[in-house]
């Protein structure tokens, strides 16, 4: 607290810049930055869409400005690495590296004496590289994004992450508790094992057990909230909506499966031949039509080859990514989600997923009769189960 007060005073007196990022933060984001930076080991559990990544990047930049940090390890799902890269480049001038490749190549990243400020890895890499990270990279800050990945303390991933060593640790998740309160225990245990004590004591204090010692209900939840209050900061959109812009865009990049990539490349080659012809002479109508068909098929493959007639492709990485987003968003019963796609076949896959998970939905496509569209829209707006 004294360090935070000194920093705030320094900003007022001009000893520190008003902003440590290239773009000003919203007031609630600045509060999140200060919570992380001066909490040293802290949990930011803002609702999805409030910019947890930006707040963590800003906290790292602040500690760099104060001379408290020279290296940061960001642990994130593989699909979010590029999102982190974009935010780092947008909000700071600090260097970064994305770790890819075989283990020998990854170790070179960690052992490089000239390694940039940010090093971005995914959870799977930490399982095999934890010792190298501790011995060679020696990060001052470890940031865990989508930290529900360590909610199960018994998994190899959780155990590997908890062996990472750093003075500062920032944990980011929109869902600190998904099913059971011991998920929160696992996350807080990474930050400060002394805060909640050993697991057996935690279970005895916050679970009501039956005659056989099995949990049957929760107890003492106000005491649990008070216990984690020093490390936990959580805001919902309705609490900060007056500070929010009209819309926040976030791009997620999802990898194609090898089979999808192979099929995509086949059509890419066909399209490329027609493009080469067009550089020498105007395309004939049938050639131009064929080029548009190839480009359309390539876009469909990026969603799922199964939406193309005659194809059967059970794997759908985009649907798996969407399923995770829905799980997080629908933790709040007041949240509504709209899913857009140019391909009705893809929307049918989303609909099938919603039905399998018991998620209520409204269906609005060009094939829905006009008189039914209004009813679907009203159901979406007014039905709490939709």
Per-residue pLDDT, 2: 79
Per-residue pLDDT, 57: 98
**CA-to-CA distance for 155 and 31, rounded, in angstroms?**
33
pLDDT per residue over 216-244, tens digit each?
788 888 899 999 999 999 999 889 888 87
Mean per-residue pLDDT over the chain, rounded: 90
Task: Say if CB 177 and CB 184 are below 8 A apart.
Answer: yes
Establish how many alpha carbons lie within 13 A of residue 179's alpha carbon, considering only the half-sphere containing its beta carbon: 4
pLDDT per residue over 22-69, tens digit each?
999 999 999 999 999 999 999 999 998 899 999 999 999 999 999 999
In angstroms and rounded to an integer, the radius of gyration of the C-alpha atoms of the chain is 24
**pTM of the full predicted structure?**
0.69
**CA-to-CA distance for 102 and 86, rounded, in angstroms?**
24
Per-residue pLDDT, 371: 65
pLDDT per residue over 254-281, tens digit each?
999 999 999 999 999 999 999 999 999 9
pLDDT per residue over 71-123, tens digit each?
999 999 987 888 899 899 999 999 999 998 899 999 999 999 999 999 999 99
Which of 65, 83, 84, 376 lies closest to 253, judged by CA? Answer: 83
Compute the average pLDDT of residues 149-168.
Answer: 92
**Structure letter (DSSP) for residue 135:** I
Coil, strand or helix at 223:
helix
Per-residue pLDDT, 317: 92
**2-243 belongs to which CATH class?**
alpha beta
Strand order in the sheet with 118-122: 96-98, 118-122, 72-76, 141-144, 168-172, 41-44, 232-233
Confidence of residue 307 (pLDDT cuts 50, 70, 90): confident
Per-residue pLDDT, 235: 93
**CA-to-CA distance for 110 and 95, rounded, in angstroms?**
14
Per DSSP, which regions of 214-274 are E strands?
Answer: 215-218, 232-233
pLDDT-above-90 percentage for the chain: 61
| Helix (H) or strand (E) run with residue 42 in it | strand 41-44
């Amino acid at each position: 607290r004294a360090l935070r007060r000194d920093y705030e005073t320094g900003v007022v007196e001009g000893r520190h810049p008003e902003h440590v990022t290239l773009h000003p933060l919203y007031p609630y984001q600045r509060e999140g930055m200060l919570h992380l930076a001066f909490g040293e080991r802290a949990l930011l559990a803002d609702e999805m869409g409030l910019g947890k990544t930006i707040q963590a990047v800003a906290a790292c930049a602040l500690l760099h400005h104060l001379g408290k940090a020279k290296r940061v390890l960001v642990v994130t799902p593989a699909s979010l690495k590029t999102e982190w890269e974009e935010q780092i480049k947008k909000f700071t001038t600090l260097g970064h590296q994305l770790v890819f490749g075989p283990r020998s190549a990854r170790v070179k990243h960690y052992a490089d004496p000239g390694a940039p400020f940010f090093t971005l890895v995914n959870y799977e890499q930490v399982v095999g590289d934890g010792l190298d990270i501790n011995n060679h990279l020696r990060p001052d800050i470890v940031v865990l994004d989508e930290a529900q990945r360590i909610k199960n303390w018994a998994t190899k991933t959780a155990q590997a992450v908890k062996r990472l060593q750093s003075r500062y640790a920032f944990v980011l998740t929109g869902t600190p508790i998904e099913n059971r309160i011991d998920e929160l225990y696992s996350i807080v245990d990474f930050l400060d094992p002394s805060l909640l004590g050993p697991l057996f004591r935690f279970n005895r204090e916050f679970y009501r057990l039956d005659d056989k010692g099995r949990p049957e209900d929760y107890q003492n939840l106000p005491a649990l909230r008070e216990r984690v209050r020093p490390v936990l900061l959580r805001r919902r959109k309705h609490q900060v909506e007056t500070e929010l812009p009209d819309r926040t865009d976030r791009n997620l990049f999802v990898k194609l499966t090898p089979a999808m990539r192979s099929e995509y490349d086949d059509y890419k080659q066909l399209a490329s031949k027609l493009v080469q012809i067009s550089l020498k002479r105007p395309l004939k109508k049938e050639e131009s039509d064929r080029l548009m068909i190839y480009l359309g098929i390539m876009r469909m493959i990026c969603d799922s080859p199964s939406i193309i007639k005659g194809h059967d492709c059970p794997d759908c990485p985009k649907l798996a990514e969407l399923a995770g987003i829905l799980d997080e968003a629908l933790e709040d019963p007041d949240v509504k989600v709209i899913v857009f796609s140019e391909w009705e076949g893809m929307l049918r896959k989303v609909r099938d997923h919603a039905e399998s998970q018991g998620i209520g939905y409204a269906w609005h496509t060009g094939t829905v009769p006009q008189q039914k569209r209004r009813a679907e829209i009203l159901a979406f707006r007014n039905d709490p189960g939709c």
